[in-house]
């Protein structure tokens, strides 16, 4: 990863930490498997009524399983694959526009001092988390 991408990724982590952004992933495949499995087992044990009861219990279990645990977004960003990090950096670079910097400290200072740029960068980070990672996001405003 080149220096510019490292700077941008660090910026994303710092701003996410400043706003205490957390994300949780919903795993719908596990939830669907639990609901379907519950209906199947219920059907084997209790026939048509068992399907209904098993589906209800499996659905409740599936809903519980997919309500992910929130983790700090900076932690999640550092675990992204290089391709995912590259996409995030590209999105944030677009938000930065023509801004020039010499190192990560200089970049952080410029972004934190310019409310409009900071909002654009945070918007790009939030959009990435929601659209690309399919995460539910919480933050302090």
pLDDT > 60? residue 30: no
Q: Residue 3 CB: number of other CB atoms within 10 A?
A: 9
Domain match, 37 and 96 both: no
State how far the Cα of 80 lies from the Cα of 88, in Å rounded to an integer: 10
Last residue of a domain, one of 17, 47, 67: 67
Tell me if the pTM is above 0.75: no
Computed over every residue of the chain, the mean pLDDT equals 85
The answer on pLDDT for 65 being more than 90 is no
Closest to 12 in 3D by CA, of 75, 65, 68:
75
- Residue range(s) defining the domain that contains residue 47: 27-67
Out of 67, 83, 98, a domain closes at 67
pLDDT at residue 113 in the model: 96
Domain count within the chain: 2
- Does one domain contain both 47 and 110? no
CB 136 within 8 A of CB 24: yes
Same domain? 50 vs 74 = no
Q: Stretch 10-19: mean pLDDT, rounded?
A: 95
Query: Are 76 and 112 found together in one domain?
Result: yes
- Report which secondary-structure segment, H or E, holds 18: helix 3-18
Cα diameter, the chain: 69
Residues 38, 85 within the same domain: no
């Amino acid at each position: 990863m080149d220096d510019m991408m490292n700077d941008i990724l660090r910026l994303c982590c710092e701003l996410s930490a400043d706003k205490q952004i957390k994300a949780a992933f919903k795993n719908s495949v596990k939830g669907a498997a639990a609901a379907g499995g519950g209906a199947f087992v219920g059907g084997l044990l209790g026939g048509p009524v068992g399907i209904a009861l098993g589906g209800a219990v499996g659905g409740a279990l599936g809903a519980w399983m997919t309500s992910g645990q929130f983790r700090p977004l900076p932690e999640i960003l550092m675990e992204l694959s290089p391709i995912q990090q590259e996409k995030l950096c590209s999105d944030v670079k677009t938000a930065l526009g023509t801004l020039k910097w010499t190192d990560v400290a200089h970049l952080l200072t410029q972004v934190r001092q310019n409310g409009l740029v900071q909002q654009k960068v945070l918007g790009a980070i939030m959009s990435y988390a929601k659209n690309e990672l399919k995460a539910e996001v919480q933050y302090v405003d």
